[in-house]
C-alpha cells in the first residue's frame, strides 16, 4: 500500500535552509528560515528561560499529562500579555484559551473551531501571507479568498486595495490578519487602519482571526498588540493565535495558545470546550515543558522583568540592523532601500527578481527565497558587508 506514495518536494523554505547548511563557502549567508539569530549566528536561549527552566527541573515532581487546556499560569499570563492587564473583556470573563503545540497548533485549533461553527467557512487571507497558513487552515476544510495587502512598487501596505477586497467579506466569513511584524513583507497596519478594519467588521459581521506570532519584536509588547486590542475593545468575537517561539525563543518547545474573545462568559466557556474537544482529536494532550517555563516567566515579577529587558534588546537590535542594512545596500547598489527601515519585525522583501535571488545563491552563497524575502535577524556584523556587496553585484549585472 505505502509504496504507491510518491516522494513530495521539500518545503521551499526548509529546503533552501538545508542547501545553505550544505554549502561549504565560509562566507555563506543564510537568510531563509524565520528564526532570531544573535551576532554569533546562533539562536540564543534567554537568561529568563534558563532561570525558569532550572527552577522547573529542580521542583518538577511528576510527568503526568497536562490539563487538556494547558498550564493555568501560562493561560492567564498569555491572556494578559495579548489583551492587556486592563482589558475590559478579560475582566468580564469574555476570553477563554487553550494551550497548543506552537503557533501552528494555535492556528489549527482556531480553524477546527471555525469549521465547527460554519463548515467550509470562507477565510480571507492577505496576499502575501505566511505560506503555511493555507495548508494549516485548509486541511480542516475551510475555503479561501485573497485580499490585496502589499504594494511591491513602494514596499508598503496597499490599504485602499485591502479595504476594497474586504468589502466583499460577509457574516460567516473569517478575515485572517497579522497582528504585527507581517510575515513575509514586514509592512504593518497603522492604528488608524486597524480602526477602519474594526468599522468594517462591525458593519459586515465578519470574524477577525489574528495571528500574532511576533509580539514584542516590532515596536515592543504593548504597541505591537495595539491593533488587536482595538478590535477586542469594539467587537463581540475574535480568535487569536499566539506563540512564544519568537518572543521567548521557545522554538523547539512548541509553545502556543489559541484565545477566544466572545460575547459573554458563557460563550467563552463553550468555545473553550469546543477547542478542548478539537485538541483531543488532533493531538490529544498539550506539551508541558515550554508552557511551564513561559508560565513561570509571565507570573514571576523578577523573571518577567528580566525577559522583557532581553526581548527589548532583541527588538532594538533588529531595528538597528534594518537601519544599518539600508545604509550598506544603498551605498553598494545606488538605489533606495529606505523601506527596510520603515518595516517591522524579522522580514523584508528586498525587491529583487527570482533570477537575481537565484544568482545570489549560485554566485555568492547568499540564501534568500526567490521572492527576495529575507530574515533580517540573520544579518550580523560579520556578514552585512559581504551581503551588501553581493546584492550590489547582482543588481549591477
> Do 394 and 359 form a contact (C-beta atoms < 8 A)?
yes
The residue whose grid cell reads 502556543 is 256
Q: How many residues does the chain have?
A: 397
- Concerning whether 211 is annotated as a catalytic residue, the answer is yes
Phi, psi angles (nearest 5°) of residue 288: -100, -45
User: Within its chain, how far is the Cα of 108 from the centroid?
Assistant: 14
Phi, psi angles (nearest 5°) of residue 155: 55, 55
Among residues 246, 300, 307, 344, the one annotated as catalytic is: 246
- Concerning whether 246 is annotated as a catalytic residue, the answer is yes
Taking the alpha carbons of 113, 119, 140, 158 in that order, is the dihedral positive or negative? negative
Element (H, E) at 125: strand 122-127
Strand partners, 178: 211
- Concerning whether 130 is annotated as a catalytic residue, the answer is yes
The two counts, helices (H) then strands (E), for the chain are 16, 13
Among residues 28, 71, 124, 130, the one annotated as catalytic is: 130
Instruction: Give the CB-side neighbour count of residue 35, counting CA atoms within 13 A.
Output: 17
What are the cell numbers at 364?
555568492
Nearest-angstrom CA–CA distance, 238 and 225: 14
Nearest-angstrom CA–CA distance, 260 and 208: 11
Among residues 165, 211, 224, 300, the one annotated as catalytic is: 211
Nearest-angstrom CA–CA distance, 312 and 318: 10
What are the cell numbers at 278?
478539537
Nearest-angstrom CA–CA distance, 271 and 299: 25
Element (H, E) at 313: helix 301-333
Q: Tell me whether the omega of the peptide bond preceding residue 94 falls within 30 degrees of 0, making it cis.
A: no
> Which residues are CB-neighbours of 12 under 8 A, at least 6 positions away?
131, 369, 370
Taking the alpha carbons of 337, 343, 345, 348 in that order, is the dihedral positive or negative? negative
Element (H, E) at 174: strand 174-178
Nearest-angstrom CA–CA distance, 200 and 204: 6
Which residues are catalytic, by number?
A: 130, 211, 246
Amino acid at each position: 500500500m505505502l509504496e504507491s506514495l510518491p516522494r513530495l518536494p521539500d518545503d521551499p523554505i526548509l529546503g533552501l535552509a538545508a542547501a545553505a547548511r550544505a554549502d561549504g563557502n565560509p562566507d555563506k549567508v543564510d537568510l531563509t528560515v524565520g528564526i532570531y539569530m544573535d551576532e554569533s549566528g546562533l539562536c540564543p536561549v534567554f537568561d529568563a528561560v534558563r532561570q525558569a527552566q532550572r527552577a522547573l527541573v529542580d521542583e518538577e515532581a511528576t510527568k503526568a499529562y497536562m490539563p487538556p487546556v494547558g498550564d493555568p499560569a501560562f493561560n492567564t499570563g498569555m491572556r494578559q500579555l495579548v489583551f492587556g492587564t486592563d482589558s475590559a473583556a478579560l475582566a468580564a470573563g469574555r476570553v477563554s484559551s487553550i494551550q497548543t503545540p506552537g503557533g501552528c497548533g494555535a492556528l489549527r485549533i482556531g480553524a477546527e473551531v471555525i469549521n465547527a461553527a460554519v463548515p467550509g467557512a470562507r477565510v480571507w487571507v492577505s496576499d502575501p501571507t505566511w505560506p503555511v497558513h493555507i495548508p494549516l487552515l485548509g486541511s480542516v476544510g475551510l475555503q479561501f479568498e485573497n485580499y490585496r495587502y502589499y504594494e511591491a512598487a513602494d514596499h508598503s501596505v496597499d490599504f485602499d486595495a485591502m479595504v476594497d477586497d474586504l468589502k466583499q467579506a460577509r457574516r460567516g466569513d473569517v478575515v485572517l490578519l497579522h497582528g504585527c511584524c507581517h510575515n513575509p513583507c514586514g509592512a504593518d497596519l497603522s492604528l488608524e487602519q486597524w480602526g477602519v478594519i474594526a468599522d468594517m467588521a462591525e458593519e459586515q459581521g465578519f470574524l477577525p482571526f489574528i495571528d500574532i506570532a511576533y509580539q514584542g519584536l516590532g515596536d515592543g509588547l504593548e504597541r505591537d498588540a495595539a491593533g488587536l486590542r482595538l478590535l477586542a475593545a469594539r467587537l463581540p468575537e475574535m480568535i487569536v493565535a499566539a506563540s512564544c517561539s519568537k518572543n521567548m525563543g521557545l522554538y523547539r518547545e512548541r509553545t502556543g495558545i489559541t484565545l477566544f474573545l466572545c460575547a459573554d462568559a458563557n460563550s467563552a466557556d463553550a468555545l473553550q470546550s469546543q477547542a478542548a474537544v478539537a485538541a483531543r482529536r488532533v493531538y490529544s494532550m498539550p506539551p508541558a515543558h515550554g508552557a511551564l517555563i513561559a508560565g513561570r516567566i509571565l507570573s514571576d515579577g523578577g523573571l518577567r522583568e528580566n525577559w522583557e529587558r532581553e526581548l527589548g534588546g532583541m527588538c532594538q537590535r533588529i531595528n538597528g540592523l534594518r537601519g544599518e542594512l539600508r545604509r550598506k545596500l544603498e551605498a553598494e547598489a545606488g538605489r533606495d532601500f529606505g523601506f527596510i527601515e520603515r518595516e517591522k519585525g524579522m522580514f523584508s522583501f528586498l525587491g529583487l527578481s527570482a533570477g537575481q535571488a537565484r544568482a545570489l545563491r549560485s554566485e555568492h552563497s547568499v540564501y534568500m527565497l526567490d521572492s527576495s524575502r529575507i530574515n533580517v535577524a540573520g544579518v550580523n556584523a560579520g556578514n552585512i558587508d559581504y551581503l551588501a556587496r553581493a546584492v550590489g553585484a547582482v543588481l549591477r549585472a
